[in-house]
A and B are shown apart, each in its own frame.
Chain A
Amino acid sequence: MTGRRVARSLLAGGLLLTLFSAGCGVRPSEVITGRPAMSGPSVGVELYLVSRGQLTLVVRPANRVPSPEETLGMLAAGPDEFERVAGLTSEVPAALAPMGLAVRATPAAGGSGFTVMATPDGSGLTVTTVAAVRPLSALAADQIICTVAGAVARTGQGDSFAPVTIVGPDGARPARSCPIG
């Protein structure tokens, strides 16, 4: 009898204690994650520069959409004043220009020195430069690959994730896709 009563009291007390320990008011929480991050379009020329050893997207205002070759030319020209102040650098040597971009069999209009062509199997791009491509750092290659892929996608000539082959007088680098995204 007494034992049962004690057990009952304990049960009730425990229940109440549990409820109270859950607390009142707004409690701090763990991090809660939701949808993927915000995204939206950009207007201008997209280049990939380097910030602290990482590829970084840069958008420069432009009046018109430049061709992939022009875009590559801008990349080879390196960061402008503002970007340099912001701590951006480029590992693509200026000597690399002119580069050719081959998107398809026929050479593209305009003469930036780059030739961008589609690879023979039609699944990729080939960038042809006038300077040697072997000494290029991996980061520099990625800068070129991502920039050209984005430019091609913007002009509707190809996909931004298409593998890109960089070809120079000293030969070709293995085809590779933009590592970002």
Chain B
Amino acid sequence: MTRWRVSGLRVRLLLAFALLGVTTTAVVASGSYFQARTVLLQQAQDAAVASLTDQLTKVYPVRRLPPTQDELDSLAQRLSDREGYAVVLYRDMRAQGAQVPEPLTPELRQAVASGVIAWQRVSRDGVPVLLIGTQLEVDRSSGTPVPSGLEVYSVRSLASEQRSIDRLATLAWLTGGLSLVLAVLLALLAARGVLRPVRELGRAARRLGEGDLTTRLAVRGADELADVARTFNDTAGTLERQVGELRRMEADARRFVADVSHELRTPLAAMTAVTDVLDEEADRLPGDAGRAARLVSQETQSLTQLVNDLIEVSRFDSGTARLALDDVDVAVAVTATLRARGWVERVHAELPPGVVARLDPRRLDVIVANLVGNAFRHGSEPVSVRLRAEPDWITIEVRDHGPGLDPEVLPHVFDRFYKADTARTRSEGSGLGLAIAWENARLHRHAGQAGSLLAGNDPTGGAVFTLRLPRVATDAGGVR
């Protein structure tokens, strides 16, 4: 569901948490580990020293110096136990509690010779060993003690301490690992907590971008993300209000146009009814009166056409336009359109017979008449109409041999009242013809696909309008 983008917020959060967790744990765990190790060793050492000195008090009082070898041996024997053994030296004499190579270090012997108890940890065959050494001195009733020449060393294995410390280390590693896992889990949790609102924000923004202006976010908590959500909601609200206002104004404007058109119809109906009378009488009227009568008649018809077109357009806008579907031989229908307007001789038609389609023949007539009329007006002859049939679609191509459409005009040819040539006289059409043709094409739908009307230029010159309608159209049902 979620992409794990490297350098994404989630990964960054995860890394930050893991780093924090690991660092903290490393510091704490290693700190306590070292502390514990020091304490452990110190305790072991202190205990060993104390034990040795305790045992050595039993050596006193000294009865004989120099000692015999037997005495040395028995002393070494007494000082050796399970945990270690003793080495007793007297000048060249030596007694050792275990048969091992020289365990003592020169620096330790030097320290002991200076008259202090000294100890040192060394490694013997990989095993940590504690060496403790002291001279045995003889008290004098006054003044400092005198060295007796006896040196006693205790050699103790630190294996058990080593084990304890190893356990501590294992524990530290385990703690570190666990805290890493915990950090990752927490990071995931935190990332989810942070990312969910972010994702919601993204989704909402996308929906808003797609036009759903009612999109709002649930504002949770009082953090920065909640602020963002609130700001988003405010923005969306403002946008919705403004777009709603604009739409309302647009709808008002359209309704106004529709209302005006309807209101114009009644007077136009009266005027249209008598244009024939005017036409007939114009010839008999003298001079200016006749011209005026013809002008009124002619402009009444233009005005009627304009109002009809406006009403047609407002019907498209309000979604009330419906198809009156019939099974039509397209070639016959197109021919009829051309014949009805007296264009059969002027148009080169390639209309394969027998192409039957289910469509609204009146709307097809409107489209074809508009396209061909447009070609005559703006292009130059010969104008050709070509019908092509596909399994599910039919294509009608209307082509002229004029200069073609200006690239700047091309995106606007289907705009309402768009006039490529501003100097053109209005009498050449209402300015809605191509817009209505385009809407009529789109009204024919099949399997969710709308019919289309495209404008373009032929490489060899001349404008090409391509109408594409489904073989079996269904009414769009006012869906826009």
Interface residues of A (CB under 8 A from B): 8, 12, 15-16, 19, 22, 24-44, 46, 51, 56-61, 82-83, 86-88, 150, 153-154, 156, 159-161, 180-181
Contacts and interface: CB of A to CB of B under 8 A. Distances in A.
B26 A59 contact: no
Interface centre among B53, B63, B65, B121, by most A CB within 10 Å?
B65
Contacts of A181: 140, 143-146
A160 B143 contact: yes
Given A38-B136, A153-B142, A31 B118 contact: yes
Interface in B137-159: 137-149, 152, 158
Contact of A31 (B19, B63, B108): B108
B49 interface: yes
Contacts of B418: none
Given A42-B61, A59-B63, A31 B111 contact: yes
A31 B45 CA distance: 12
Given A30-B120, A37-B135, A58 B65 contact: yes
B117 A40 contact: no
Contact of B138 (A41, A88, A153): A41
B128 A25 contact: yes
A179 B332 CA distance: 144
24 contacts: A19-B26, A19-B30, A22-B30, A32-B119, A37-B117, A37-B134, A37-B145, A38-B57, A39-B136, A40-B59, A40-B60, A40-B139, A42-B63, A42-B138, A43-B61, A44-B63, A51-B149, A57-B138, A57-B148, A86-B66, A87-B92, A88-B66, A181-B144, A181-B146
Interface centre among B19, B92, B110, B146, by most A CB within 10 Å?
B146
A56 to B, nearest CB: 6
A29 to B, nearest CB: 4
B375 interface: no
A128 B152 CA distance: 40
A20 to B, nearest CB: 8
A38 B53 contact: yes
Contact of B65 (A19, A29, A42, A153): A42
Contacts of A56: 149
B472 interface: no
A21 to B, nearest CB: 11
Contacts of B141: 153-154, 156, 160
Contacts of A40: 56-57, 59-62, 136-139
Contact of B116 (A15, A22, A35): A35
A42 B115 CA distance: 18
Q: Tell me if B's interface is mostly helix, strand, loop or mixed.
A: mixed
A154 B146 CA distance: 14
A24 B61 CA distance: 44
Nearest to A11: B23
Contacts of A46: 138
A171 to B, nearest CB: 28
A160 B64 contact: no
B166 A24 contact: yes
B308 interface: no
Contacts of B119: 31-32, 34
Nearest to B108: A31
B29 to A, nearest CB: 9
B142 A161 contact: yes
Contacts of B61: 40-43
B111 A28 contact: no
A59 B64 contact: yes
Contacts of B136: 37-40
B457 interface: no
B34 interface: yes
B165 A26 contact: yes
Contacts of A180: 146-147
A156 B62 CA distance: 20
Contacts of B135: 37-38
A99 B68 CA distance: 31
A38 B56 contact: yes
A-B complex: 4 closest residue pairs judged by Cβ atoms: A40-B60, A26-B128, A39-B145, A39-B137
B64 A15 contact: no
B143 A37 contact: no
B161 interface: yes
Given A26-B128, A38-B134, A41-B62, A57 B117 contact: no
Contact of A33 (B93, B118, B140): B118
B63 A43 contact: yes
Interface centre among B62, B92, B115, B142, by most A CB within 10 Å?
B142
Given A26-B161, A42-B62, A36 B140 contact: no
Contact of B149 (A29, A34, A57, A154): A57
A153 B59 CA distance: 23
Contacts of B3: none
A41 B136 CA distance: 10
Contacts of A37: 112, 115-117, 134-137, 145, 147
